[in-house]
């Protein structure tokens, strides 16, 4: 059903957003480290 698919997508998005805070922090940290390494190199 279309409604079921919409609900599933909303649940997945909510999960991504819930884990987004940690994942975003890790990604930003890794990116900053890579940039610093490039600058140092």
* The pLDDT value given to residue 22: 62
Q: Model confidence at 39, in pLDDT bands (50, 70, 90)?
A: low
d(CA 39, CA 9): 40
pTM above 0.85, yes or no: no
Structural domain that includes position 17: 4-38
Residue 6: pLDDT over 80:
yes
Find all residues with CB under 8 Å of 26, minimum gap 6, and list them. none
Domain count, the chain: 1
* The pLDDT value given to residue 33: 80
């Amino acid at each position: 059903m279309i409604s079921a698919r919409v609900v599933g997508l909303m649940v997945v998005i909510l999960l991504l957003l819930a884990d987004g805070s940690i994942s975003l922090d890790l990604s930003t940290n890794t990116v900053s480290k890579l940039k610093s390494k490039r600058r140092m190199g």
